[in-house]
Chains A and B, each alone.
Chain A
Amino acid sequence: MLRYIVKRVLLMIPTLLGAAVLVFVLMRLIPGDVCVLRLATGGGMDPQVLQNCRAEIGTDQPMWVQFWTFIKGLVVLDFGKSMWTGREISEEVGLRFQLSLQVAIMATITAILLAIPLGTISAVKQNTWIDYVVRAFSIAGVAMPSFWLGILIILGILITSKAWFGVSWMPPITYVPIWVDPVHNLSMLIWPALATGYRYSAVATRMTRSAMLEVLREDYVRTARAKGVFQRLIVRRHALRNALLPVITIIGIEFAFLMGGLVVTEQVFNLNGLGKLFVESVSNQDYNMTQALVMLVVGIFAFTNLVVDIFYAWLDPRIRYNR
């Protein structure tokens, strides 16, 4: 197993390098200039100051020098300073990473708590009213964008708080770490976690249902039934464990996506997360920040896939990685 993990970690290197080349080239294909943006918005600009700005952030250097600087930084995990704010990227990303991670974890927990029981019940009670309700619930979740659900949640809270308590209330729009003020933290993050977790759970519910339906028709399940094993035990011990393999994959991919992909939902709830930073850094032409964020997200995807593969081995002892 250890050998497998080392091999997978080594395989991450070309993946990261490929992503690095891609993001470096793509960013430079976008028309515009971070210095023009910094200096020209709403006013004139002195050519000398513009030149100084480019020299300060290094965009006046030949392309290969810029690439070499980026790769050197990548190796030692030092992405330098934001070209937009001039601050250390680690400082800019730190707090946002914390928030995005918490939302991703909360949304994943919401999704797992909803998807696995609902998907299982739906499969076991196939073509009954329970199955129809669960399917409608999950199809609605897939069809409904989480940012739209987020807007509805906020409006719903505003209207019901006014109707019930006489004052309009909405969740806090500033982030406080959970260990500083858990009530403030949870009352802010529970709503985006529910909005994204619902969509996430809908995908996972459908996956659980179809995987369960397949497994429940397997010979070993029929054999277990023939042996007189209780249905509940068959489902829990024999069917669900095997059916979870594709579900785990979906959960892993979605978790990684949530870390950097909640762009619109973050704006709906004013979450100062990685997705918002991503969009801002691209629109500000902040190459350093965008490159760092892309590498971070690629790293998260690679790591999550590794964790998913390890889970596979735990769930299905037939899978042996050291062969």
Chain B
Amino acid sequence: MKALHWKSAFSLLAALLAAPLLAGPALADTPKTGGILKFVVPDEPPSFDGHRETTFALVHPFAPFYSTLIRVDPQDPAGYNFVCDLCTGMPKPTDDGKTFTFKIRKDVKFHDGSPLTAKDVHASFQRIIFPSQGVSSARKAQFAMVDSVSATDDETVVFKLKHPSGAFIASVATPFNFIYSKAKLDADQHWYEKNVMGSGPFVFETRQAGALVKGKRNPDYYHKGLPYLDGFEAIFAKTQTLRVQAIRGDQAAIEFRGLPPKSRDDLVAALGKDITVQESDWNCSLLVTANHSKKPFDDVRVRRALTLAVDRWGGSKDLSKIAIVKAVGGIVFPGHPLAATKAELEKLPGYWPDINKSRAEAKRLLQEAGVADLKFTLLNRGVDQPYTIVGTWLIDQWKQVGITVDQKVEATGPFFASLNAGNFDVTVEFNCQSIVNPLVDVSRFRPDAGDQYGKFQDAELIKMHDAMNKTADEAEQRRLMRAYEKRVLEDEAHTSVTLWWYRIIAHRSYMKGWKVTPSHYLNQDLAQVWLDK
């Protein structure tokens, strides 16, 4: 498990670098118990089932009710270390890295008073990895390396893998992997879509459709002394203006997803020391994908010209002032050991330091492909941040090389319907992941990924990704990742990464114990949060 050691070393480095930033009064303060945390959530999930849903709108109000087998270290949520939640110790893989044995705590109870055992953990992962017919599991594909899951007794869960995988532990730690009651699942596999009953730090109290979800402190929580809060209210508020006003008017302490720079500045100007700002690079990248099944986008020269025309380095400086994007990066989360360095990036098309040279090459390629006066429609999602803002910027970038682009903005529903049906020329889309785990995150670029909208085939790319997942050697992983990245962004130019998202959280200063993470899915059980009122 060299990969894990490497991750630990990176976390240590990250922690050392971040220490001066984090060593503020929040760490020195002693947590206080009591109080109700109110926060706003921009959307409401269709169901309450974490195994089925993919949206942050499920995690923010419902994660506090559930336990997970393992998780990102809540003391260092921005890092890459995994610790136990329900298990007693992080397992050491056996059988040449193919078997993981988790020992389950004996002191855990579901909120209905029934004991939580290895059988519940087994039933939950069985549902996630091998869902029965009619059950929807959004993360089934992440566990393609798992051969079987079993509960050998009430305290032991064993995962057997088909091959060693550096992605397995991070997949287990995904915050959507709530542990459900086996008894409830046995009675009805769909029970958790409309009901809530977990073993997490908060007990479900009430839900008003379209309005709010309330939770109260779990007095029997197994992590002793936690949670600090008496309860929480997750308030659904769709408009961003209202969410910002709610924080300003103290009807809510925080919105966990993120705010644009202007809202941050408004809140700071209005509230001064009463507002605290935390920021982080975000494990979401905004992609531009051409529909390979449509001419002339079946021609790699045209796809490469599209990426060569875009000035990412300049765009980062300007767009980061108005939109939730900032870092320039390849397919891997910027700053991660597996990510391309600046020098490596600058060799890829679209990242060259000289934008004039890059655009000249784009024009040459378009000329060569016989589409010097290319015209197309850019399909975009009707969400300002960051989609339509970046989309408008892209149109201007393409104009610099003589490409004429119309933008077609669709609401989320029709947008995804168009993507799935392949009704577009070029689209702006995204790759948002929870735990920073590049081996899993870049599976999004595989031709067989469920959400690969470019409609391309590339057997070589699959082989490269499989090879990367089967090796635990970090140097080899890095070498393979560069080759994989080059194939995605240059050789085949299947898709291109514009800019990585940037997460800005502005919260009431009385809310303590919460740290920003590179994902809006992480660190949301609220057990560590307390109010200094």
Contact = CB atoms under 8 A, between A and B. Distances in A.
Interface of A: 30-33, 36-46, 48-49, 52-53, 56, 84-87, 91-92, 95-96, 151, 154-155, 157-158, 161-162, 167-175, 267-270, 272, 276-277, 280, 283-285
Contacts of A45: 420, 450-451
Given A37-B412, A168-B250, A42 B209 contact: no
B212 A174 contact: yes
Contacts of B343: none
A42 B55 contact: yes
26 contacts: A36-B420, A37-B413, A42-B54, A42-B55, A42-B451, A43-B138, A46-B136, A95-B211, A96-B209, A151-B241, A155-B245, A167-B250, A168-B270, A169-B249, A169-B250, A170-B245, A173-B251, A174-B212, A174-B235, A175-B208, A175-B211, A268-B241, A268-B242, A270-B237, A272-B211, A283-B413
A162 B411 CA distance: 37
Contacts of B449: 44
A172 B251 contact: yes
Nearest to A271: B211
A281 to B, nearest CB: 10
A85 B46 contact: yes
Contact of B211 (A56, A91, A174, A268): A174
A281 B451 CA distance: 25
A36 B416 contact: yes
Contacts of B450: 43-46
Nearest to A42: B54
Contacts of A173: 40, 235, 237, 242, 246, 251-252
A55 to B, nearest CB: 9
B194 A87 contact: yes
B24 interface: no
B135 to A, nearest CB: 8
Given A37-B413, A91-B209, A267-B239, A168 B136 contact: no
Contacts of B136: 39, 46, 49, 52-53
User: What are the 10 A-B residue pairs with the smallest beta carbon separation, nearest first?
Assistant: A44-B450, A170-B249, A272-B211, A43-B54, A42-B54, A44-B451, A32-B417, A37-B413, A49-B136, A40-B416
Contact of A270 (B242, B271, B417): B242
A276 B136 CA distance: 28
Contacts of A169: 249-250
Nearest to A169: B249
Contacts of B249: 154, 157-158, 161, 168-171
B209 A85 contact: yes
Contacts of A43: 54, 138, 450-451
Contacts, number: 142
Contact of B210 (A32, A44, A172, A277): A277
Contacts of A39: 136
B490 interface: no
The residue among A46, A84, A96 with the most chain B CB atoms within 10 A of its own CB is A46
Given A168-B271, A270-B242, A40 B420 contact: yes
Nearest to A94: B209
Given A41-B54, A86-B193, A86-B194, A272 B238 contact: no
Given A85-B46, A283-B413, 18 more contacts: A30-B414, A31-B417, A36-B416, A36-B420, A40-B416, A42-B55, A87-B194, A158-B270, A169-B249, A170-B245, A170-B246, A170-B250, A173-B246, A174-B233, A175-B208, A276-B210, A277-B210, A284-B413
Interface in B22-55: 40, 46-47, 54-55
A280 B210 contact: yes
B92 to A, nearest CB: 32
A188 to B, nearest CB: 10
Given A32-B417, A168-B270, A175-B211, A41 B412 contact: yes
A101 B233 CA distance: 25
A268 B416 CA distance: 27
A272 B413 contact: no
Contact of A42 (B211, B250, B432): B432
Given A92-B210, A174-B212, A40 B411 contact: no
Interface string B62-101: 0000000000000000000000000000000000000000
Interface in B408-439: 411-414, 416-417, 419-420, 430, 432
Interface string B264-288: 0000001100000000000000000
Contacts of A174: 208, 211-212, 233, 235
B515 to A, nearest CB: 24
Contacts of B251: 170-173
A43, A46, A158: residue with the most chain B Cβ atoms closer than 10 Å: A43
Contacts of B133: 48, 52
Interface in B209-244: 209-212, 233, 235-239, 241-242
B20 interface: no
Given A36-B420, A272-B210, A168 B451 contact: no
Contacts of A168: 248-250, 270-271
Contacts of A48: 133
B374 interface: no
Interface string B135-147: 1101011000000
A38 B54 CA distance: 10
Contacts of B193: 86
B113 interface: no
Nearest to B214: A174
A283 to B, nearest CB: 5
A33 B135 CA distance: 19
Contacts of B55: 41-42
B432 A84 contact: no
Contacts of A56: 134
A175 B251 CA distance: 12
Contacts of A96: 209-210
Report which residue of A32, A161, A284 has the largest number of chain B beta carbons within 10 angstroms of its beta carbon. Answer: A32
Contacts of A31: 414, 417
A269 B412 CA distance: 23
A187 to B, nearest CB: 11
A272 B44 CA distance: 12
A215 B311 CA distance: 71
B312 to A, nearest CB: 24
Nearest to B416: A40
A181 to B, nearest CB: 14
Contacts of B211: 95, 174-175, 272
A38 B411 contact: no
A37 B43 CA distance: 14
Given A42-B432, A174-B233, A158 B245 contact: yes
A171 B241 CA distance: 14
A37 B410 CA distance: 13
A154 to B, nearest CB: 6
B417 to A, nearest CB: 4
A173 B194 CA distance: 24
B252 to A, nearest CB: 7
A54 to B, nearest CB: 12
A32 B245 contact: no
A95 B207 CA distance: 11
